[in-house]
Amino acid sequence: MELTDVQALLSCHILAIPYPGRGHINPLMNLCKLITAMSKPNLLLRISFIVTEEWFSFLKSDPKPDNIQFLTIPNVIPSEKERSKDFEGFVKAVFTKMEVPVDSILDGLPKPNVILADSFLPWAVSIGERRNIPVASFWPMSLTIFSIVYHHQLLLANGHFDARARRKRS
């Protein structure tokens, strides 16, 4: 469907990419629902929400606005049901195996105005840079946790958190 010049000016396409975990998917979906609820009536807003096929099977029956659509990538990461057995392998797969299928999904879409990606998906920034799409980072946890993660090296350097002392006590 071709957009007229006026429709193009009044349209906004957001590509939402959550980290594949319930504590990340649900908050990003809630943000997307808030965005659609707050959008202007004359704005043609569309949100494409990318999840694995497995996550889609969990989410497809959940209510959502019509202008949020699910897009799926193959299950290139370990199953949600098995990930606790090898969490390190799961995280490694998220960092190394999800980028290519997410990037290839963009080939079949109109260019999004913005990518809204979980902060735990650093490769989303690479996709945005390659395709000249701005990327907004979504942090699903409290600002306190963000500050601790962001300043972790500073906390270690100043002796506020001594991981070695904890290992000795264990």
Query: How far apart (Å, rounded) are the C-alpha atoms in residues 64 and 67?
Result: 8
Distance CA 131, CA 57 (A): 29
| pLDDT given at position 82 | 82
Q: Which two tokens stand for residue 114?
A: 């913005």
pTM for the whole structure: 0.83
Tell me if 12 sits within 8 A of 3, measured CB to CB: no
pLDDT per residue rounded down to tens, the chain (170 residues): 555 655 556 689 999 999 998 899 999 999 999 999 988 776 789 999 999 999 999 999 898 988 999 999 999 998 888 888 888 999 999 999 999 999 999 999 999 999 999 999 999 999 999 999 999 999 999 888 888 888 888 888 888 776 665 555 55
Q: CATH 3.40.50.2000 in the chain, residues?
A: 5-139
Residue 158, amino acid: N
- Give the bridge partners for 72, in sequence order: 51
Q: What's the topology of domain 5-139?
A: Rossmann fold (3.40.50)
Residues across the chain: 170
pLDDT at 5 (0 to 100): 57
Sequence-ordered list of residues with C-beta below 8 angstroms from that of 91, at least 6 positions apart, any chain: none
Q: What single-letter amino acid sits at 122?
A: P
The neighbouring-strand residues paired with 114 are: 14
Measured distance CA(127)–CA(102) in Å, rounded: 9
CB of 99 closer than 8 Å to CB of 126 = yes
